Amino acid sequence: MTLTTETATILTGLGVDTNRFTGGTMESFTPLTGERLAELTPDTAATTQEAIARAKAAFTAWRLVPAPRRGELVRLWAEELRAAKADLGRLVSIEAGKIPSEGLGEVQEMIDICDFAVGLSRQIYGLTIATERPGHRMMETWHPLGPVGIISAFNFPVAVWSWNTALALVCGNPVLWKPSEKTPLTAIAAQAVLDRALARFGDAPAHLAQLLIGGPEVGEALVVSPDVPLISATGSTRMGRIVGPKVAARFGRSILELGGNNAGIVCPSADLDMTLRAVAFGAMGTAGQRCTSLRRLFVHDSIYDAFVPRLVKAYASVRVGNPLESDALVGPLIDRAAFEGMQAALNAAATMGGKLHGGERVEVPPGGYYVRPAIVEMTEQVAPMTEETFAPILYVQRYSDFEQAIALQNGVAAGLSSSVFTRDLQEAELFLSAAGSDCGIANVNIGTSGAEIGGAFGGEKETGGGRESGSDAWKGYMRRATNTVNYSRDLPLAQGVVFDI
Ligand code: NAD
C-alpha cells in the first residue's frame, strides 16, 4: 500500500469526507518519500471571517456551561484519542516524518493534556483577598475570554493544538485552529477525533472547535480580528515578529511560542554515560526538529577529550532512514528548504573555523531529505551557532569556568530550554538560580527536550514569553475580574479618602 492510500484509508476510517482531501489546490507531501499525499481546498480570509463569526456565536452559549460540564467534553475527547492513538500517531509519522514512538508519543501528549484539563475543570478558582475596608469582601473571579485563535507549527502537528484546545475549552472558549500548511492531513484527522467527542457530548454549541486549512494569510485573518481576543501562535521567531505586533496593535492578547537555541553544560562531575544518552536524544531526536532540540553544548576542558569523541562516534553510527520501513532513530527533514538551511549553516560554521563531523545527505530512501546529524566543534560562540537552524546540528565548545559557561548558554537571543549535567550541588543550584539559566525551562541531568504536560511550557526573550500546558498556564485563557462587595451600611473609601457630600 502506498503512503497516499494508507493516509486516505486512515482519514476515511476516522470519518473524514474524501472531499476534504481530494481535488483542491493546496498539496500535502510526506517527508518520508516526497510522495504527494493529497490536494486540499484551502480556506481564505473570507471563509476565516465567517468562521470567526460562528465562533463568536458559540462563545455566547459555551461560556455559560459550568466548567466541570465543559470538562466532560474534554474527558470524552481523551477517550476518543485513546481509541484513535495508533491511527493518529501513524499520520504524524507519515506527514511530519517522526519515528513511530514519537508519533505515538505526540498523541499521548494530547491524551495527557486532556486528563490535566478534566481535573482543571473543577479547579478554576480565584483568591479571596483581605480588604482594608470594614464590612467588605474582595475576591477574584475568572471568566471565559472568547474565541482563541491557534496557529501551530509543522513539527508538533497536533499536540500543540491540543495543549491550547483542552485548556481553552474547559476555560469556556471556542477555538479556531490554523495548523501548519505542511501538515494539514494530520490536522483534519485530529479535528475528526474531536468532532466525535463533540457528537457524543451532544449539546455543545455548533462550531465550538473549527479547523482552518491554509497558509499565513489564513493565520493573518485570525491575527488581525478584534473578535479573537487571544492568539496562541507557535512557530519561528520570524513569524512571531510579524504576529506579535499585529495582535498588540489591537490590544489583543497573545501567547507566543517561538524558536529556541537550547544549550547544555557538561560539568567535570557529570555521569558521562547518562549525559551521552541525554545529549544524543536531545540533539538528534526528531532529526533536530523540536523547538527544544539541543543545539549547543559547552563541555568542561577536563572531560572534553574523553566525552566529545564518544559523541562523534555515536553520531556516526546512529541509524538514519525511513522510520516506517526500518528501525531508524533519525527520520527525514521536513523538506528541501530545511536541508538547504542546514547545509548553509554548516558552510557558515566551517568558515568561522568550525570542525565538522557528519551533516551529509544520506541517500538511502529516495525522495526524502535524510541527513546524518552533524557535530561542529567551535572555538567561540559566533553565528551560525547563535541562531536556530531547524535541523540536527550540535555545536560543541570547551569551557573552563562554570560561570563563563552559564554566560555562553545565556548569550543568545532565544530563551527556551537549557540543561546542566553535573553531580555538584553548587553547580546545579547556581544553574537554577536567578544568576543561572535565563530560559523558561532549566533542567538538571536530563536533556533540553521532552517536556511533560504538568509544567508550564514556554520560553523567554525571542522565544516569545508565552506559557502553555500545565501549572497555571490556564490563566492565559481567561479574563480576571476583581470584585469588591460591601455588605455594610457605610461607604468607607479606600486609602482613607474622605468625600462627604
Ligand atoms: P513557521 O513560523 O514557518 O510557521 C508556523 C505557523 O505560523 C504556520 O502555521 C504558518 O502558516 C504560520 N504563519 C507564518 N507566518 C505567519 C503570519 N505572518 N501570520 C500568521 N501566521 C503565520 O514555523 P515552522 O517551520 O512550521 O516551525 C518551526 C519553528 O517553530 C521553529 O522555529 C521552532 O523552534 C518553532 N516551534 C516553537 C515551539 C515552542 O513551543 N516554542 C514549538 C514548536 C515549534
Taking every pair of Cα atoms in the chain, the longest distance, rounded to a whole number of angstroms, is 87
Q: Is the pTM of this model over 0.90?
A: yes
Question: How many Å lie between the centroid of ligand 1 and the Cα of residue 152?
Answer: 6
The C-alpha cell at 208 is: 465550538
For position 359, what pLDDT does the model report? 98
Q: Is 180 in the pocket of ligand 1 (CB under 6 A)?
A: yes
Q: Is 291 in the pocket of ligand 1 (CB under 6 A)?
A: yes
The C-alpha cell at 218 is: 489564513
**Which ligand 1 atom is at minimum distance from the Cα of 222?**
20
For position 370, what pLDDT does the model report? 97
Least confident of 169-173, 344-348, 359-363, 460-464: 359-363
Mutation to probe ligand 1, out of 40, 109, 151, 156 (largest number of atoms < 8 A from CB)? 151
311 pLDDT band (50/70/90 cuts)?
Answer: very high
The three-state secondary structure class of 421 is: strand
Residue that is written with C-alpha cell 473543577 in the block: 122
Q: Output the residue whose Cα is nearest ligand 1's atom 8.
A: 180
**Which ligand 1 atom is at minimum distance from the Cα of 388?**
32
User: Given a cut of 80, is residue 365 above it in pLDDT?
Assistant: no
Q: Output the residue whose Cα is nearest ligand 1's atom 35.
A: 235
For position 375, what pLDDT does the model report? 98
1 pLDDT band (50/70/90 cuts)?
Answer: confident
**Which ligand 1 atom is at minimum distance from the Cα of 240?**
2
Residues 6+ apart with CB under 8 A from 241: none
Question: How many Å lie between the centroid of ligand 1 and the Cα of residue 251?
Answer: 22
Express each pLDDT in 108-155 by its tens digit: 999 999 999 999 999 999 999 999 999 999 999 999 999 999 999 999
User: Given a cut of 80, is residue 394 above it in pLDDT?
Assistant: yes
DSSP strand E in 213-293: where? 230-234, 253-257, 262-266
Q: How far is CA 62 from CA 69, 73, 211, in A?
A: 10, 11, 18
Superfamily of domain 262-454: Aldehyde Dehydrogenase; Chain A, domain 2 (3.40.309.10)
Q: Which residues are catalytic?
A: 257
Q: Is 154 in the pocket of ligand 1 (CB under 6 A)?
A: yes
Q: Output the residue whose Cα is nearest ligand 1's atom 30.
A: 235
Q: Is 358 in the pocket of ligand 1 (CB under 6 A)?
A: no
Per DSSP bridges, beta strands 393-399 and 294-300 are parallel
Question: How many Å lie between the centroid of ligand 1 and the Cα of residue 286?
Answer: 16
User: Given a cut of 80, is residue 317 above it in pLDDT?
Assistant: yes
Q: Is 427 in the pocket of ligand 1 (CB under 6 A)?
A: no
Task: Note the ipTM here.
Answer: 0.99
What's the whole-number mean pLDDT along residues 235-257?
Answer: 98
Q: Is 308 in the pocket of ligand 1 (CB under 6 A)?
A: no
Q: Is 473 in the pocket of ligand 1 (CB under 6 A)?
A: no
Question: How many Å lie between the centroid of ligand 1 and the Cα of residue 157?
Answer: 11
Question: How many Å lie between the centroid of ligand 1 and the Cα of residue 204?
Answer: 30
Q: Please measure the distance between the N-terminal and C-terminal CA atoms of the chain and give it in whole angstroms.
A: 85
Q: Is 186 in the pocket of ligand 1 (CB under 6 A)?
A: no
Q: Are 213 and 184 in contact (CB under 8 A)?
A: yes
Domain boundaries, the chain: 3-146+167-220+469-482, 262-454
What's the whole-number mean pLDDT along residues 343-370?
Answer: 94
3-146+167-220+469-482, CATH topology level: Aldehyde Dehydrogenase; Chain A, domain 1 (3.40.605)
Q: How many CB atoms lie within 10 A of CB 356?
A: 15
For position 364, what pLDDT does the model report? 76
**Which ligand 1 atom is at minimum distance from the Cα of 259?**
34
Q: How many CB atoms lie within 10 A of CB 487?
A: 8
What's the whole-number mean pLDDT along residues 307-330?
Answer: 97
Give me the residues paired with residue 143 across strands: 479
**Which ligand 1 atom is at minimum distance from the Cα of 237?**
32
For 267-285, the three-class secondary structure string (H helix, E strand, C coil) is CCCCCHHHHHHHHHHHHHH
Q: Is 381 in the pocket of ligand 1 (CB under 6 A)?
A: no
For position 39, what pLDDT does the model report? 96
Question: How many Å lie between the centroid of ligand 1 and the Cα of residue 184?
Answer: 14
Calpha distance 501→490 (Å, rounded)? 14
Angle made by CA atoms 79, 85, 87, in degrees to the nearest 5? 130
Q: Is 465 in the pocket of ligand 1 (CB under 6 A)?
A: no
What's the whole-number mean pLDDT along residues 17-38?
Answer: 95
Question: How many Å lie between the centroid of ligand 1 and the Cα of residue 164?
Answer: 15
Mutation to probe ligand 1, out of 236, 418, 462, 468 (largest number of atoms < 8 A from CB)? 236
What per-residue string of b and e applies to 361-399 under the rule 16 or more CB within 10 Å gives b? ebeebeebbbbbbbbbbbeebeebbeebbbbbbbbbbbb
Q: Is 215 in the pocket of ligand 1 (CB under 6 A)?
A: yes
**Which ligand 1 atom is at minimum distance from the Cα of 246?**
19
Express each pLDDT in 180-206 by its tens digit: 999 999 999 999 999 999 999 999 999
**Which ligand 1 atom is at minimum distance from the Cα of 291?**
34
For position 366, what pLDDT does the model report? 79
Question: How many Å lie between the centroid of ligand 1 and the Cα of residue 236?
Answer: 4
80 pLDDT band (50/70/90 cuts)?
Answer: very high
Q: Is 149 in the pocket of ligand 1 (CB under 6 A)?
A: no
Q: Is 377 in the pocket of ligand 1 (CB under 6 A)?
A: no
Express each pLDDT in 86-101 by its tens digit: 999 999 999 999 999 9
Mean pLDDT of the chain, nearest integer: 97
Question: How many Å lie between the centroid of ligand 1 and the Cα of residue 239?
Answer: 6
